[in-house]
Amino acid sequence: MFVLVFSAILTLVIIQGTTQVDNVMTIESGMEAVRVIICLVMLFLIESTNDQRQIYTPLLFGISALYLGNLLNFLDDIYDLGRPQIALIEDLFETAGLISVLVGVTLWAQHHQNQIKYLLKLSRIDPLTGLLNRRAAIAAIKAYGKEDVQEPGNTSPKEWSFKHEADKPIHCVMILDLDHFKGVNDTLGHDAGDKLLCDISSLLQQQSQNDCIIARWGGEEFLVYHRANSKEECLDLALSLKYKIGHHPFSYDTTPIKVTVSIGVSTYSAEEFYLFEAIKHADTALYQAKAAGRDYVQMAQ
């Protein structure tokens, strides 16, 4: 309503003003009219921020003040009022408007920056467990190894490179799968299953090494990447995780939940490490662990 009223006033002023000056407007008057129209357009555009009052209020006030200042200037040019009081009022409106618009635009930019950060976080984090998702885990391993990682569908993966032989670690990839997880959902409901996945995630983070990368790989599967000094250290970590999960007192409400986990493990030296090949072999070892009766750790052959 505010915009429509001033639009109507502006239209009448332009018609009347151009008639009085014999349809000849100076360049200055034309520019003032353009600025007034731009302010009207901006008033329409900022309606998209109406739900963000801390942004909308200073923008509305600022653009409205700019509108009034430019409108007075426009009227002054058309009617040649030449009064210093009007010029002072014009300057006050325009100055206050610019300051308020600057505040609003700054708040708007901060809001969008926060939204971008939030969306980036959502794109990396599993919303249920808070762990890295599959894509973010691959990126994290890439950053940790400081070398390009094979992307899905690429047939020429790059090796990890290290300057000194002593720097070459054993790369360990584990895929963990909760045994009989479907039974938890079927008997206690999906809320119980979700809580169990969150509890497992917390336990993995507590029991894993500081230099581990942990991700929810999909469904009830988790991936753990670890750089160790030997294959035996990788196996010890996998056995430790299996033991901790198998002996942890999980529960939902007052109902205890017995949980076991099957783990497939693949290990590679630095010069032999291809990430997606390691994942594939760990996945194969996981199926072998399940075929062996579950609650089992299987090293890839």
Tell me the C-alpha distance between 119 and 124, whole Å: 9
Active site residue 220: yes
Element (H, E) at 20: helix 2-20
Q: What is the DSSP string of 90-147?
A: HHHHHHHHHHHHHHHHHHHHHHHHHHHHHHHHHHHB-TTT-SB-HHHHHHHHHHHHTS
Complete edge-to-edge strand list for the sheet that includes strand 261-269: 213-218, 221-228, 170-178, 261-269, 297-299
Residue 171, beta-bridge partner list: 227, 268
Which residue is catalytic, options 220, 233, 271, 277?
220
Q: Side chain identity at 56, as an amino acid letter?
A: Y
Tell me the C-alpha distance between 173 and 264, whole Å: 8
Element (H, E) at 182: helix 181-188
For 230, what's the count of Cα atoms within 13 Å in the CB-facing half-sphere? 3
Show which residues are catalytic: 220
